[in-house]
Structure 1
Amino acid sequence: MRFFKVFLASLLAFIVFTIICFIVLTVIIGRALTTEKVNISPNGVLVLETGQAYKEQKLVNPIGALLRDEPGEVPGLYQTVRLISHAATDDNIKGIYLKVNGNPNGFASTEELRDALLRFRKSGKFVVAYGEVMEQSAYYLATAADKVYLNPKGAVDFTGFSSQLTFLKGTLEKLEIKPEIFYCGKFKSATEPLRETQMTEANRVQTTQFLGELYSNFLTGVGKARQIDTATLHGYADENLIQEPADALKYKLVDGLKYDDEIVAELQGKTSIKSDEKVNLVSLGKYNNSTTLSDGSGDNKIALIYAQGDIVGGESERDNTIASENYIREIRKARQDKEVKAILFRVNSGGGSALASEVIWRELSLAKKVKPVVVSMGDYAASGGYYISCMADSIFAEPNTLTGSIGVFGVMFNMQDFFKNKLGVTFDGVKTAQYADLGSVGRPLTEGEKRFIQNGVDSTYASFKSRVVAGRKLDAAIVDSIAQGRVWSGVEAQKLGLVDRIGGITEALACAARLAKLSEYRLREYPEVKDPVSKLMKTVGADVSTHMVKKELGVNYELYQQIKEVQAMHGDIQARMPFKYSF
């Protein structure tokens, strides 16, 4: 009897302790993420940092806030574009100070931000950029400023673009793991890291072409801003002429070499305050907290649905994941809402599961039958990302969006020798039918099983191409010639008919309004951003684990992610572009 009393008392104490911890944790999170309304005083200078990563939607980050090494909330990309636009008409904001360091954002996201800064300058307000070490993609963003300054002992990277892929074939061979690979399309290079030790000629051709197009867009933008012809700029890179800060000034890539205090003095002059007064620097987060962006007016709505990350089947609570069940609900909600007159589908994805892409395509196709559907492409809208885009009434891409990659593949892993020779593990069993254990990693595939899987890949590829033929109203032979898994830039995709127009979210939204014949509307964003406490309760373990692994691995985290992606591919037909490129 005494045992039960002690047990029940201990259980009660544990429950009370858990409740108290939950309450304390909730209070801590609430304080960490508090966004009190603030007022912006006159002569403000909005501060943007090129080193800030912008997701498609606002990022609420309770773990980062708790650990105090990341902001608790970061505005999304389009939200930031709108804040810059709002600042152009805000009497309390006199200009923008662009602090230039790294740039973790992709090329198309950078293009969106750069275009927003160029539009801001048309208001007559200043944009000043200053950095100590400027990466190329950060420098590209800096050239949107009317003045670009570099630290006298700093550096500008102006050496051209390169793309480097990581090949895992040798590692798998050492581990005695045999990948069995099935694919369609001679350019479908997503499986190359598993079957080759270097790029195939087809992959080298396509990568050379689209990398050259991205570089051409970079040179054109810089050349127009700095009033230097692109051939001259290419010569700077090819001859590695920009080695010292003085070189950047000599060749007119920057307007001056200054220290931070000299930048402060210039900002004082531009805001007409005294030299002993402090410049009213306004961070993007503070400006976001002070500003209520208008969602429009009237009863009619346009649904803006963000789709960013890997495409997977089923449901998921994770960020940067396009889970088919989640998105079917969101698209259907917008389709069935009579006040929603058009859908703008924002895609930033290199693809993933072919089946999940198909079911999302199906739901968007149903929506298209009752209201206009416009797609805006981000950094990537390739393979599965293009699959879910191709049915739209109109498709917008940035010049440097990577798209296309119309092709599929499947990967199975034979790990029999790995388990036997490395771990001493063997397998045996019984089955009621010949193919009951198809997909087992404990044995190699038979020739008959290989034919089954290749037939499935071929069938999926044919379906993918048929969706493009119907959606883009192109001849089947043309689609076959531009498919083959080949990756295209936004500019080339427009020439081929895979994309309709070059532009960002702003232009795509205007198109959706035109197609719906709306002169006024309210913007409704999906998926709804979850409250931080709810999100924390659902993902705290995974988020903490990811945070710690990322911090520990540092620059090697991307390789770790690539290996995890390889593991996830086993047995599922993929519509995925060749791993993420780093430039």
Structure 2
Amino acid sequence: MVKRIFAFFGAVLAGFWRTIDVLRRVVLNAVFLLLLAFVVVLLWRALPAVPDGAALVLRPAGPLVEQKTFETPLDLLRNGGVAPSQTVLHDLLEAVEAARDDTRIKALVIETDRLGPTGLSKLAELRAAIVAFRQSGKPVFARGERFTQGQYYLASAADEVHVGPDGFVLLQGLARYISYFAEALDKLGVKMHVFRVGEYKAFSEPFTRNDMSEADREASRDLLEGLWTGVREDLIASRRLAPEKLDAYVNAYPAALAATGGDAVSAARDAGLIDRASTRDEWRELLKARVGASEDGKDFRRVEADDYLAVVRATRPEQDDHVAVLVAQGAIIDGSDTQSAVGGDSLAHLIRMAREDERVKALVLRVDSPGGSAWASEVIRRELELTREAGKPVVASMSSVAASGGYWIATGAEEIFASPASLTGSIGIFALFPELAGALDKLGVNTDGVATGPLAGAFDPRRPLEPAAAKTIQLGIEHGYRRFLETVAKARDMSATEVDTVARGRVWTGEAATKLGLVDQLGGLEAAVAAAASRAGLKRYETVWPRADVGPGQRLLQRFVAALAPVGGLSVLSGLPASPLAVVIGGLQQDANELLRWNDPRHLYTHCLCEAL
């Protein structure tokens, strides 16, 4: 009897467990199928439609970049789950160029509210594409709730510019202010030894001075005035402004505001900078009248740039011959790094892969770098030289910054293109050595020991730097500078003496560098690609953008973040101005992070202290 009772309860429990197990399997399989379906949706998208008579809409978010930086899961966690917005410049250039001759596209609409701080040359390159679109006879409309200087510079290329009723147009001119740490380091007991060649090589000055040197002040003033002249001329031409009216707005803004009782919109309209103020609904209704209404009548007939570009690329016939564009974006470091910096070995590997690819007939190096490791710069330049020796043309295209080490790698090309607003040159070299003996002494920490030779332990930052060690570094710096001069002289068909007169660490605009012989042609990426194709004798070709391998997991995460951004707000509205305190702290943190990345084997650096203005 007892056995039957236990057998009964055992059977009930076993049946219950089998039921639970079945339910578990069903739930897990259902979750798996849902995840699989989500992944399929992320990786596969049906081509969107391009309505006839539509307006192409550009809404750049974050800074314009040459190549998007992949955010790792750890980066996302550090940012509170927020992925910084970025917009790839060549995507917008390709979309605007295709739309110019596309009969389906009736107009171009630009909304700048999410556009973040961007290098001037990138804005100028996109602006030139917009001007070319206008010249095709199609209208361009631009609006912002408010305009920072960069946002307005881009929007001013439009036929009609609108601003929000409570907005403003901020035109300040250009400035360059730097934090100097000499007094702070002295109070901490840190002695910074600097070794350099070139009176204009100012990267080390923040660690040794409390103010700007006269040489750096002179060079900075000339640089800013040259860049602002270009911006000023573009604004005057696009808006048909009287020069004195624009100058009065920039140089006497309080007076312009006072004349309108503090109304910033009226001040901008009186200066001829905008055409009218409009609310969002008024803007939408205006575009419905100018372009045409969508099928449901709720919006204007439109296609977003990403959707339009997907259609253009999918319907474009494939070509057997390729022109490969390789991007060098960020500081140049030794070794492998493919995201936030230019790894010398990583980029050299990409160049080698392009050289060995039979489909690639020519190569364009797109440089957006202030330089960095001299060792890594030479590794990259040599691979470009080998590519030319293999019979494949190499052309360099300068983005916002191609200075110091960025210029060193550009000399590996047989032709160099730059925007008038590109920052380049800065041909010089330096080394920094921190001596911490004083700081440790203040803490009561002493260093002592023995060595078998005069240089053994000489580069220990806990000890005072020995004169013999200092002389060794300086001799290396002088040799490195001569090597830099000889590299440029050979590439540019100049003598080392001629190069030295325009070197010494001085930064030049692309326009000035062209006159000095450091650059061959003024032009953007499109012109550089066309030149490379011409050198290779190509009539029909496809432009490809090789980059270091990104694993399936990384690609899936990129798609995941992109898919959730519009829904969950996983993006940073970079067009919004940051608080002053955030700007200061963020700048110091960024500078510190960059210094920690420096890893040249000889500690020799070709780096420019030139922001992408």
Q: Which band: TM-score by shorter chain?
A: 0.7 to 0.9
Residue in structure 1 matched with residue 528 of structure 2 by the alignment: 508
1:297/1:520 contact within 8 Å kept: no
Residue in structure 2 matched with residue 114 of structure 1 by the alignment: 127
- Distance in 1 (CA, whole Å) between partners of 2:159 and 2:103 is 20
In the alignment, structure 1 residue 56 sits paired with structure 2 residue 77: no
**Could you list the per-position Cα deviations for residues 5-25 of structure 1 after superposition, in whole angstroms to 9, with x for gaps in the alignment?**
xxxxxxxxxxxxxxx9xx999
In the alignment, structure 1 residue 499 sits paired with structure 2 residue 519: yes
Do the aligned partners of residues 400 and 420 (structure 1) sit closer, same or farther apart at CA in structure 2, a change above 3 Å counting? same
User: What displacement does 1:161 show?
Assistant: 1.5
Do the aligned partners of residues 564 and 125 (structure 1) sit closer, same or farther apart at CA in structure 2, a change above 3 Å counting? same
Residue in structure 2 matched with residue 577 of structure 1 by the alignment: 608
User: What displacement does 1:335 show?
Assistant: 1.8
Do the aligned partners of residues 469 and 293 (structure 1) sit closer, same or farther apart at CA in structure 2, a change above 3 Å counting? farther
Q: 2:224 aligns to what SS in structure 1?
A: helix
Q: 1:362 aligns to what SS in structure 2?
A: helix
Match of 2:217 among 199, 204, 211: 204
2:350/2:548 contact within 8 Å kept: no
What amino acid does structure 1 have at the position aligned with 2:327?
Answer: Y
Residue in structure 1 matched with residue 300 of structure 2 by the alignment: 279
Q: 2:266 aligns to what SS in structure 1?
A: helix
After TM superposition, the runs of 4+ consecutive aligned structure 1 residues lying more than 6 A away are 23-29, 64-68, 535-538, 550-553
Do the aligned partners of residues 385 and 294 (structure 1) sit closer, same or farther apart at CA in structure 2, a change above 3 Å counting? farther
2:194/2:204 contact within 8 Å kept: yes
Moved more, 456-465 or 91-100: 91-100
Residue in structure 2 matched with residue 350 of structure 1 by the alignment: 370
- Distance in 2 (CA, whole Å) between partners of 1:503 and 1:453 is 39
What amino acid does structure 1 have at the position aligned with 2:94?
Answer: R
In the alignment, structure 1 residue 559 sits paired with structure 2 residue 588: yes
- Distance in 2 (CA, whole Å) between partners of 1:206 and 1:33 is 50
In the alignment, structure 1 residue 81 sits paired with structure 2 residue 113: no
In the alignment, structure 1 residue 329 sits paired with structure 2 residue 339: no
Residue in structure 2 matched with residue 148 of structure 1 by the alignment: 161
Residue in structure 2 matched with residue 378 of structure 1 by the alignment: 399
1:494/1:501 contact within 8 Å kept: yes
Do the aligned partners of residues 532 and 255 (structure 1) sit closer, same or farther apart at CA in structure 2, a change above 3 Å counting? farther
User: What displacement does 1:232 show?
Assistant: 4.0
2:145/2:167 contact within 8 Å kept: yes
**Could you list the per-position Cα deviations for residues 401-428 of structure 1 after superposition, in whole angstroms to 9, with x for gaps in the alignment?**
0000000000011012223324x43333
In the alignment, structure 1 residue 94 sits paired with structure 2 residue 100: no
Moved more, 155-164 or 201-210: 155-164
In the alignment, structure 1 residue 46 sits paired with structure 2 residue 56: yes
Moved more, 426-435 or 446-455: 426-435
C-alpha RMSD over aligned residues:
3.2
Match of 2:477 among 440, 457, 465: 457
- Distance in 2 (CA, whole Å) between partners of 1:560 and 1:30 is 37
The 5-angstrom pairing of residues 241-320 of structure 1 reads 242-243=256-257, 244-273=264-293, 277-292=298-313, 297-317=318-338, 319-320=339-340
Residue in structure 2 matched with residue 36 of structure 1 by the alignment: 45
- Distance in 1 (CA, whole Å) between partners of 2:413 and 2:316 is 24
Residue in structure 2 matched with residue 15 of structure 1 by the alignment: none
Q: 2:204 aligns to what SS in structure 1?
A: helix
2:455/2:468 contact within 8 Å kept: no
Residue in structure 2 matched with residue 126 of structure 1 by the alignment: 139
- Distance in 2 (CA, whole Å) between partners of 1:184 and 1:70 is 41
In the alignment, structure 1 residue 467 sits paired with structure 2 residue 502: no
Residue in structure 2 matched with residue 480 of structure 1 by the alignment: 500
Residue in structure 1 matched with residue 25 of structure 2 by the alignment: none
What amino acid does structure 1 have at the position aligned with 2:433?
Answer: M
**Could you list the per-position Cα deviations for residues 342-384 of structure 1 after superposition, in whole angstroms to 9, with x for gaps in the alignment?**
1111100000001111111111111122221100000000000
Q: 2:313 aligns to what SS in structure 1?
A: coil
**Could you list the per-position Cα deviations for residues 427-484 of structure 1 after superposition, in whole angstroms to 9, with x for gaps in the alignment?**
3344333212232111121111110000001111110110110001112222111000
- Distance in 1 (CA, whole Å) between partners of 2:467 and 2:520 is 44
Q: 1:307 aligns to what SS in structure 2?
A: strand
Do the aligned partners of residues 129 and 349 (structure 1) sit closer, same or farther apart at CA in structure 2, a change above 3 Å counting? same
What amino acid does structure 1 have at the position aligned with 2:362?
Answer: A
- Distance in 2 (CA, whole Å) between partners of 1:224 and 1:248 is 17
Match of 1:439 among 446, 454, 459: 459
**Could you list the per-position Cα deviations for residues 521-571 of structure 1 after superposition, in whole angstroms to 9, with x for gaps in the alignment?**
222222156246147999xxxxxxxx99x9998422222111233344586
User: What displacement does 1:145 show?
Assistant: 0.8
Residue in structure 2 matched with residue 4 of structure 1 by the alignment: none
In the alignment, structure 1 residue 160 sits paired with structure 2 residue 170: no
What amino acid does structure 2 have at the position aligned with 1:493?
Answer: A
- Distance in 2 (CA, whole Å) between partners of 1:475 and 1:261 is 63
Q: 1:134 aligns to what SS in structure 2?
A: coil
What amino acid does structure 1 have at the position aligned with 2:196?
Answer: Y
Moved more, 364-373 or 461-470: 364-373
Do the aligned partners of residues 480 and 26 (structure 1) sit closer, same or farther apart at CA in structure 2, a change above 3 Å counting? farther
Q: 2:395 aligns to what SS in structure 1?
A: strand
2:173/2:228 contact within 8 Å kept: yes
User: What displacement does 1:124 show?
Assistant: 2.8
Residue in structure 1 matched with residue 439 of structure 2 by the alignment: 418
2:61/2:87 contact within 8 Å kept: no
Residue in structure 2 matched with residue 221 of structure 1 by the alignment: 234
Corresponding residue pairs, total: 552
What amino acid does structure 2 have at the position aligned with 1:125?
Answer: K
Do the aligned partners of residues 537 and 248 (structure 1) sit closer, same or farther apart at CA in structure 2, a change above 3 Å counting? closer
What amino acid does structure 1 have at the position aligned with 2:412?
Answer: M
Runs of 5+ unmatched residues, structure 2: 1-28, 258-263, 559-570
What amino acid does structure 2 have at the position aligned with 1:526?
Answer: P
What amino acid does structure 2 have at the position aligned with 1:500?
Answer: D
- Distance in 2 (CA, whole Å) between partners of 1:255 and 1:397 is 33
TM-score relative to the length of structure 1: 0.87
Residue in structure 2 matched with residue 10 of structure 1 by the alignment: none
What's the % identity of the aligned pairs? 32
Do the aligned partners of residues 44 and 314 (structure 1) sit closer, same or farther apart at CA in structure 2, a change above 3 Å counting? same
**Could you list the per-position Cα deviations for residues 10-67 of structure 1 after superposition, in whole angstroms to 9, with x for gaps in the alignment?**
xxxxxxxxxx9xx999979948955623423525433323543222124555658897
What amino acid does structure 1 have at the position aligned with 2:46?
Answer: K
Q: 1:124 aligns to what SS in structure 2?
A: coil
Moved more, 186-195 or 324-333: 324-333
Moved more, 288-297 or 338-347: 288-297
Do the aligned partners of residues 96 and 291 (structure 1) sit closer, same or farther apart at CA in structure 2, a change above 3 Å counting? same
Q: 2:337 aligns to what SS in structure 1?
A: coil
Q: 2:162 aligns to what SS in structure 1?
A: strand
The 5-angstrom pairing of residues 8-19 of structure 1 reads none
**Could you list the per-position Cα deviations for residues 471-511 of structure 1 after superposition, in whole angstroms to 9, with x for gaps in the alignment?**
01112222111000000001100010101111100011111
- Distance in 2 (CA, whole Å) between partners of 1:98 and 1:375 is 30
Larger Rg: 2
TM-score relative to the length of structure 2: 0.83
Q: 1:432 aligns to what SS in structure 2?
A: coil
Match of 1:177 among 169, 176, 190: 190
Match of 2:539 among 515, 519, 523: 519
2:59/2:112 contact within 8 Å kept: yes
What amino acid does structure 2 have at the position aligned with 1:95?
Answer: A
What amino acid does structure 2 have at the position aligned with 1:211?
Answer: L
Runs of 5+ unmatched residues, structure 1: 1-19, 539-546
User: What displacement does 1:387 show?
Assistant: 0.3
Moved more, 118-127 or 23-32: 23-32
Q: 1:154 aligns to what SS in structure 2?
A: coil
- Distance in 1 (CA, whole Å) between partners of 2:76 and 2:157 is 31
1:190/1:577 contact within 8 Å kept: yes
Q: 2:480 aligns to what SS in structure 1?
A: helix
- Distance in 2 (CA, whole Å) between partners of 1:321 and 1:506 is 24
